[in-house]
Amino acid sequence: MIPLAWCRIALVGILLIQPLWFGWINPPTVVPPWLVLAITMVPLLLVLPGTWQLRPRSLVIAGCLLLLYFCLAVMEVWANPPARWPAAAQIVLIAVYFIALLSIRRQPARSD
């Protein structure tokens, strides 16, 4: 099983993909790229400290956020050929995050 520390690597990878994807590979044409980067990066940067410290609550909140990023990436893979590769990389990183998140186990109840 993938250790929980892979959540860190996956989240940092997703944070690195965002400027490459929306700033260089396939910049948006309707809205300014800085606005798209702010919308996509700020939520992940807010959960990064708790995720970096492997706090279970922060890991789960980040996982809920990543569900939105997963939906966006799947949509981009199907509909936008220039954005296919960064979106596919984001899908893989999100899958790694969730597989690593499965290593959180609930502590068994103590019987006194």
- Percentage of the chain beyond pLDDT 90 is 69
Distance CA(71)–CA(53), nearest Å, equals: 26
pLDDT for residue 4:
85
Average per-residue pLDDT in the chain?
90
Q: Virtual CA dihedral for 95, 14, 34, 75, nearest 10 degrees?
A: -20
- pTM, whole model, 2 decimals? 0.87
pLDDT for residue 108:
67
